[in-house]
């Protein structure tokens, strides 16, 4: 009688994947990671909330309806923007852009076609697009949350555009329950962390116990960009890599490749 075939090892079997995205945007990544065999630890590094002054945000959005372009910095920016605009009041700008394919997809779900980077799925990638090379005399609404990168606004102003930043939501510091902390501490190693913003990393380092931080810094971390990778290294993480982008598929591909090397 032939031996029973060995079960096929999945790409992330045996590893813990620490997902730092806010809860609202982590479901798809979590499901895909589990399907690939990962033990998932949810460690949301920020809490998303509506704008601190929704009336002012709504008024600014309406004032910017005739802008030359609206640029959305995240899928969350899309969600909160459309909540503020309400039904029957779609954005009417001449052009729309997202900093990545995920943001453009979120806009498409609201009936808005948007440009997004062909290369790096980031602010820098969007700025490399020819259509934004010479936005002289454009008025651009930057739809975002406070505390984001200044790269888009500063570069577009240097290129001659008038940029108005519209804060449609806010990022608040995380709150981690004792139960979530225990889930992390009991998770099998290696811990592979997925980090999509420098602020997320800073937030977690500010609240985690020092002994947990010391262990975490020795575990592999995958950043969604070279900029965040460099920031993680300044935070004393020893084994830092970067994915092709912040897209789920790219983050998981980087985690799979890292684990394959770890198994050798």
Given 171, 197, 217, the domain boundary residue is 171
In a domain, residue 7? The reply is: no
177 against 50, higher pLDDT? 50
Q: Are strands 169-172 and 47-50 parallel, antiparallel or unpaired?
A: antiparallel
Q: Are 140 and 236 in the same domain?
A: no
Q: Are 167 and 188 in the same domain?
A: no
Using pLDDT thresholds of 50, 70 and 90, give the confidence band for residue 158: very high
In a domain, residue 99? The reply is: yes
pLDDT of the residue at 114 = 96
What total number of domains does the chain contain?
2
Using pLDDT thresholds of 50, 70 and 90, give the confidence band for residue 8: confident
In a domain, residue 3? The reply is: no
25 against 222, higher pLDDT? 222
Q: CA 133, CA 101: separation in Å to the nearest integer?
A: 19
With a CB cutoff of 8 Å and minimum separation 6, the contacts of 261 are none
Q: Which of 147, 160, 161 is nearest to 74 (CA)?
A: 147
Using pLDDT thresholds of 50, 70 and 90, give the confidence band for residue 4: low
Q: Per-residue pLDDT averaged across 50-61, rounded? A: 96
Using pLDDT thresholds of 50, 70 and 90, give the confidence band for residue 120: confident
Instruction: Evaluate if residue 79 carries a pLDDT over 80.
Output: yes
Q: CA 40, CA 64: separation in Å to the nearest integer?
A: 41
Q: Are 85 and 199 in the same domain?
A: no
Using pLDDT thresholds of 50, 70 and 90, give the confidence band for residue 2: low
Q: Per-residue pLDDT averaged across 90-114, rounded? A: 93
CATH number of the domain within which 23 lies: 3.40.50.10090
Given 127, 146, 171, the domain boundary residue is 171
264 against 259, higher pLDDT? 259
Q: Are 166 and 236 in the same domain?
A: no
Q: Are 85 and 191 in the same domain?
A: no
In a domain, residue 217? The reply is: yes
Given 126, 154, 171, the domain boundary residue is 171
In a domain, residue 222? The reply is: yes
Give the domain extent around 39: 16-46+175-263
Q: Are 205 and 116 in the same domain?
A: no
pLDDT of the residue at 5 = 61
- The answer for 69, left when phi > 0, alpha when psi is -120 to 50, beta otherwise, is beta
In a domain, residue 4? The reply is: no
pLDDT of the residue at 1 = 47
In a domain, residue 9? The reply is: no
């Amino acid at each position: 009688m032939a031996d029973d075939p060995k079960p096929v090892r999945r790409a992330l079997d045996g590893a813990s994947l620490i997902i730092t995205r806010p809860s609202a945007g982590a479901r798809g990544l979590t499901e895909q990671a589990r399907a690939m065999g990962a033990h998932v630890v949810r460690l949301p590094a920020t809490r998303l909330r509506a704008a601190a002054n929704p009336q002012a945000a709504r008024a600014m959005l309406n004032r910017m309806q005739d802008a030359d372009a609206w640029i959305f910095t995240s899928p969350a920016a899309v969600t909160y923007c459309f909540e503020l605009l309400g039904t029957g009041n779609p954005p009417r700008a001449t052009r729309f852009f997202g900093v990545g394919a995920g943001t453009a997809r979120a806009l498409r779900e609201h009936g808005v076609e948007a440009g997004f980077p062909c290369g790096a799925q980031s602010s820098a990638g969007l700025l490399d697009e020819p259509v934004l090379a010479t936005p002289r005399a454009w008025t651009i609404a930057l739809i975002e949350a406070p505390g984001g990168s200044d790269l888009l606004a500063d570069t577009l102003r240097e290129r001659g555009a008038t940029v108005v930043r519209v804060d449609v939501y806010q990022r608040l510091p995380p709150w981690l329950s004792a139960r979530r902390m225990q889930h992390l501490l009991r998770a099998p190693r290696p811990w592979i962390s997925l980090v999509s913003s420098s602020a997320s990393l800073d937030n977690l380092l500010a609240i985690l116990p020092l002994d947990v931080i010391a262990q975490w810094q020795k575990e592999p971390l995958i950043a969604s960009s070279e900029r965040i990778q460099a920031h993680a290294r300044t935070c004393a993480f020893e084994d830092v890599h970067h994915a092709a982008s912040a897209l789920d598929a790219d983050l998981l591909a980087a985690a799979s490749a890292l684990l394959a090397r770890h198994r050798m």
